[in-house]
Amino acid sequence: MPGRLQHKSALITGAASGIGLESAILFALEGANVLLVDINEKAVEEAASKIAKKTPNVKVLGTKADVGKEEDVKAAVDKAVAEFGRLDIMFNNAGIMHPADDNALNTEEKIWDLTMQVNLKGVWWGCKHAILAMRSNPIDESKGLRVGGSVINTASFVALMGAATPQLAYTASKGAVLAMTRELAMVHAREGIRFNSICPGPLKTPLLMDFLNTLEKRERRLVHLPMGRFGEAIEVAKGALFLRPETCAETLFMSVLVASDDSSYMTGTDFKVEGGLTSCYVTPL
Ligand code: NAD
């Protein structure tokens, strides 16, 4: 069976850990050439070479970049185009949650600025350089589709709902990612470049678990989760089960779905992978 991302080229940021790493594995298994990008050089190179060994039919590379620096983002996009010939999928996934991010009174301006630099400007620059690269893709209009590229931005459930355990800069940055993604989707809809957000729920990745470092902090959140557990990164990479009417039994991975041409009429959407959290008033006992 050919993979759903055969002949595609993808760049994933924050790819040395968590959602980015799991997505890089899935994308390569589905047939895409993948450039893993992360600020952690050693981890990203190790991750890329491990995936490359398991997926010899595609090119998998790793490179260091700080998404909080536009020149780094541009260099990473240029590298993907130089290595793979084109860029079809840009997954702007890297993000930070600073331990000193707090409420309106306690959050220092430098923490606010750093969070916006990485979580918001980093995604803006990723979108900007992806658009420039994707505009050079030859467009296949034979099937009546304009397929220029797919940009996926990782937002968060906190972009959709408030929490009395504040991380104000993080929340504001993710709300902005959601709004920005929607607008980009409209601006570029007619050139075949699609933009969608993924809103993960609270996950068992270092980003959250380093912060929820006591049982009390974890329990304070777990009581609000309908499923009574934190999610796994792979569950965001795989996402919801997508049943195709023809087969009624086929699992389509969320990030692969959004990245692939199977979602060619989906743009400006906020995909929630949050265990029912944003639909919940009272959780089960
Ligand atoms: P993670 O900590 O497992 O991975 C994040 C990766 O991003 C790390 O490898 C890190 O080195 C990299 N990174 C950090 N700053 C960077 C920078 N400036 N440039 C390049 N790379 C950088 O975290 P994760 O949970 O997989 O998070 C991925 C995304 O999902 C983030 O945007 C995060 O905000 C979002 N998210 C996470 C959760 C959660 O509960 N974990 C919930 C909602 C949204």
* Single-letter code of the amino acid located at 127: C
The two tokens of residue 168 are 């104000």
Tokens at 234, concatenated: 């792979």
Q: Cα-flanking dihedrals φ and ψ of residue 123, to 5°?
A: -70, -40
DSSP 44: H
Digit-coded pLDDT (tens) for 178-199: 999 999 999 999 888 999 899 9
Lowest mean pLDDT: which of 125-129, 261-265, 277-281?
Answer: 261-265
Q: How confident is the model over 34-51, as a mean pLDDT?
A: 98
Task: Give the C-alpha distances (Å, rounded to integers) separating 256 from 148, 164, 211, 235, 275.
Answer: 16, 34, 29, 12, 19
Q: Percent of the chain scored above 90 by pLDDT? A: 64
Q: Tokens 């069976």 correspond to what residue?
A: 1
User: pTM (2 decimals)?
Assistant: 0.93
Q: Which amino acid is at 263?
A: S
Over residues 79-107, the mean pLDDT reads: 97
192: CB partners within 8 A, 6+ apart: 139, 145, 146, 147, 148, 149
CB contact at 8 A, 136 and 86: yes
CA of 162 to the centre of ligand 1 (A): 20
Is 3 a residue whose pLDDT tops 70? Answer: yes
Name the active-site residue from 170, 195, 230, 271.
Answer: 170
Residues with CB under 6 A from ligand 1: 13-14, 16-20, 38-40, 65-68, 93-96, 118, 154, 156, 200, 202-203, 205-208, 233
**Quick one: DSSP state of residue 158?**
G
Comparing CA positions, the residue from 31, 59, 63, 94 lying closest to residue 256 is 31
Å from CA of 188 to ligand 1 middle:
26
Least confident range from 2-11, 152-161, 170-179, 193-202: namely 2-11
User: Is the pLDDT at 248 greater than 60, yes or no?
Assistant: no
